[in-house]
Amino acid sequence: MSDHHKHRKSIVNRLARIEGHVRSVKDMAASDRDCGDLLIQLAAIRSALDNCGKLILKDHLEGCVVEAVKEGDDKVMDKLNDAIDKFIR
């Protein structure tokens, strides 16, 4: 794993927890649980996804972008802007 992705281990762990959470909500849906209960769990998953996304953005800013600017690589700013456009609404 690259040095400039210092939060990557935590990001993988968060995604593993989110995966398990989605699986348990799928099981809740399959066993005919209340719509309201499902919605509350989906909101929790969305919030966990957003926090994971924030951590990825941090990694990107602290590592990749700083490094690329130092090396005079302009394309990385375009890619960052594109990712922010897609992620933040």
Contact criterion met (CB below 8 Å) for 42 and 25:
yes
Q: Report, in Å, the least distance between residue 1 CB and its own copies.
A: 5
Residue of 80, 86, 85 whose CA lies nearest to 63: 80
Residue with tokens 């281990």: 9
Binding residues for its own copies (CB under 8 A): 1-2, 5, 8, 11-12, 15-16, 18-19, 22-23, 25-26, 29-30, 32, 34-36, 38-40, 42-43, 45-46, 49-50, 52-53, 56-57, 59-60, 63-64, 79-80, 82-84, 86-87
Closest CB to its own copies among residues 72, 75: 75
The first and second tokens of residue 46, run together, are: 């969305």
